[in-house]
Copies of this chain bind each other. A is one copy, B any other.
Amino acid sequence: MSSRSRDIDDLVVRARQGQARAVGRLISLIEDGAPELRALAAALARDTGRAQVVGITGPPGVGKSTMAGALVAAFRAAGKRVGVLAVDPSSPFSGGALLGDRVRMQEHATDPEVFIRSMATRGHLGGIAWATPQALRVLAAAGYTQVLVETVGVGQSEVEVMALADTTVVVLAPGMGDGVQAAKAGILEVADILVVNKADREGAEQTVRELQHMISLGRREVAGPSWRPPIVCTTAHKTEGIDDLVAAIDEHRAWMLSHGELDARRQRRAEAEVEAIALAQLHGRLGDVLRGSALPGLAKRVVAGDLDVYRAADELIAELTG
């Protein structure tokens, strides 16, 4: 056994004892794409799917972090240990927004039964969608079996992150204007529960009506019995409506269990994770080959206009596989 995998085993033992520092170290290794991840995955295989994961997404400014803070309080009141991952999937830059989010959660920061962490990836293929399931295993091993995954924004990467949740909560707010309009069509695709936050503001009822209309248009084309996303109104900074949201989350979980949907989602997630790791490894090999390959010469002919890019790609593939 190498010293590295001994280190991992030691960190895993301490994480299982609930030591937050060990949990943090392991998640840092995941962010870095460290070579030790192979040993970590082996040590945590049995923790797959043990975390109950609620995803929170929505456009900036709708109050996702306040919402997450209120949910953490509700879960704590129910005696659960809670993990929070604040994920910024699309930015290559250090996330100022997420630091802000952590500040807004500071009432929980000193609670040893709550583990809060923002997470980024440093440019891996597959990025955060590949790192998040590994971090969820670490949290589950440390007994944080109720996990909130929060993302900033509503882009493609956020949709990928939300595919990792058991229940996805999409948060909107009245009067958000164009950003929300643009995102709504896509948002309905991923939402298990829709929240209209800041429900004490003008326009909340209209936002609810618009969402009801969009749901009734039946954009979800699902095989089998389908879940109709409920709309929950909240005013998170006053913790109004949070009980309704918790009830909706429980109801969605019960529905999934009784319809085999939780198992189906876990199976799809495991398939996606294995495929992503296989792709990342193949991509690594490809990179090794490319560094010593004909690529610069092929590119030079493309720049000169003597070769088109598809035929250049053909020649490259022939070199890789031949």
Contacts and interface: CB of A to CB of B under 8 A. Distances in A.
Q: Of A185, A302, A311, which is in contact with the most chain B CB atoms at under 10 Å from its CB?
A: A302
A305 interface: yes
Given A45-B305, A90-B156, A299-B267, A274 B313 contact: yes
A216 to B, nearest CB: 20
How many copies the complex holds: the figure is 2
Contacts of A48: 302-303, 305, 309
A270 B306 contact: no
A128 B247 CA distance: 41
A182 B270 contact: no
Given A278-B316, A308-B42, A303 B267 contact: yes
A211 interface: no
A47 B91 contact: no
A259 interface: no
A302 B274 contact: yes
A309 B263 CA distance: 17
A311 B267 contact: no
Interface stretch (A4-12, A95-103, A191-199): A95-103
Contact of A38 (B97, B134, B295, B310): B310
A246 interface: no
18 contacts: A41-B308, A42-B310, A44-B308, A45-B302, A48-B302, A90-B155, A90-B157, A92-B156, A96-B179, A100-B178, A123-B156, A267-B296, A267-B303, A270-B302, A274-B316, A275-B295, A278-B320, A282-B282
> Closest 3 interchain pairs by CB?
A96-B182, A93-B186, A270-B299
Interface of A: 37-38, 41-42, 44-49, 90-97, 100, 123, 133-134, 154-157, 159, 178-179, 181-183, 185-186, 263, 266-267, 270-271, 273-275, 277-279, 281-283, 286, 290, 295-296, 298-300, 302-303, 305-313, 316-317, 320
